[in-house]
Amino acid sequence: MFSLLLEKLTNARFLEALLVGCFTIASLISIGLPLLEGDRLGERMKLVASERERIRAREREKLQAKNGGGNLRQTPKAYMRDIVERYGLSKWLGAAGAKAKLAMAGYRGPQAEIGFLFFRLVTPIGLLLFGAIYLFVILRVELTLPGRLACVIALAFAGLKAPEIYLTNTIVKRQQSMKRAFPDAMDLLLICVESGMSIEHAFRRVSQEIGVRSIPLAEEFTLTTAELSYLPDRRAAYDNFHKRTGLEAVKAIATSLVQAEKYGTPLGSALRVVSQEARDARMMEAEKKAASLPPKLTVPMILFFLPVLFAVILTPAIIQISGQTY
């Protein structure tokens, strides 16, 4: 049995068929998965709506700890927490700024940081063991011992960087979604403020309406609404809004809101200016992508388009010349 499995894993045709099958299944899943998804917006908004109660519970726990009471917070996945605390992963795995990045990616709470550190430990070890077993036991290729060790070390390094890469990609996708919907959100916020709503009600209304365009932005507006209702300093809520998104446009609107509350400046004009700047920035980004398209298409055209064009043009002439020679 083991010899048959070893023979299959070292067979190039079998590996090629296996990869084709995996790609086919992944394609079917990527096509069919959106059809099977439910109301993600409703579920996410329900989870975000409960953030206010969790924030209040956290503040009550801090107050109880200060008064000598115990900590009532139950952290999920205790085995991850035990491993992280036992080996001190937060000290030697480079977790500086991990909380901010996790918040920007939409992962909040202590369990998010624990899970990130846990996978930074487990992923390189898992890939290291997989590479060692596959290169030294299963796959019998003509590689020197330093070459195999280099491949194993490269897999371990890739496993160490994989959680960071995943987190960075999640942040980029989330920011792109918020950038596209932010000008429309500012227009809605301007309409709500000029109609006489308070800033809390305006944020809540925008979070309900903008979810059609961007779920992450609606989520951040809902969290900001919750923080405005309980934080003693409203500036902290606006700063947290900017830190969770990482967008310059959000920083500008947070500064405008702070100045409007501090100096009594008109909020409508500031929102109108920020909305126009965000819309201009989105248009400039689209123009930049359009301007960079021709250079990007040069190499594909040279490699794929021109050889086919020459073949179509020259093949009839070659056929005619070869027919005349015979």
pLDDT digit string, tens, across residues 125-145: 888 888 888 877 777 666 777
User: According to the model, what pLDDT value does residue 68 have?
Assistant: 45
Tokens of 10: 């070292």
Overall average pLDDT of the 171-192 stretch: 88
The residue ranking higher by pLDDT, 73 or 259, is 259
52/70: higher pLDDT: 52
Reply yes or no on whether the pLDDT at 73 is more than 50.
Answer: no
The whole-angstrom separation of Cα 267 and Cα 257 is 7
**Out of 41-55, 97-111, 294-308, least confident range:** 41-55
Helical residues (DSSP H) of 134-266, grouped into ranges: 145-194, 199-209, 215-230, 234-245, 248-263
Task: Write b or e for each residue in 202-241: b if 16 or more Cβ atoms lie within 10 A of its Cβ, otherwise e.
Answer: bbbbbbebbbeebbbbbbbbbbbbbbbeebeebeebbbbb
Distance CA 185, CA 179 (A): 10
Higher pLDDT, 31 or 281: 281
Amino acid 58: pLDDT: 63
Please report, for residues 21, 135, 285, the alpha-carbon distance to residue 17 in angstroms, rounded to integers and kept in the order given.
6, 20, 42
In 3D, which of 151, 158, 147, 216 has the Cα closest to residue 185? 216
Question: Average pLDDT, stretch 264-275?
Answer: 79
Residue 169: predicted pLDDT: 92
Confidence check: pLDDT of 3 > 60: yes
Other C-beta atoms closer than 10 Å to the C-beta of 193 total: 21
What are 183-222's pLDDT values in tens digits? Answer: 888 888 888 888 888 888 888 888 888 888 888 888 889 8
The pLDDT of residue 71 is 40
Mean pLDDT over residues 161-172, rounded?
89
Averaged confidence pLDDT in the chain: 78
Taking the C-alpha atoms of residue 42 and residue 3, their distance in angstroms, rounded to an integer, is 52
* Mean pLDDT on 35-41: 62
Least confident of 139-148, 161-170, 258-267: 139-148
Q: Where does the pLDDT of residue 38 fall: very low under 50, low under 70, confident under 90, or very high at 90 and above? A: low
| Residue 60: band (very low, low, confident or very high) from pLDDT cuts 50, 70, 90 | low
pLDDT attached to residue 66: 46
Mean pLDDT over 151-161 rounds to 87
Residues 110-126 as b or e (16 or more Cβ within 10 Å = b):
eebbbbbbbbbbebbee
- pLDDT over 60 at 268, yes or no: yes
Q: pTM score > 0.85 for this model?
A: no
Share of the chain above pLDDT 90, in %: 2
Residue 24: both structure tokens together: 């086919």
Q: How far is CA 134 from CA 122, 127, 162, 305, in A?
A: 18, 10, 20, 40
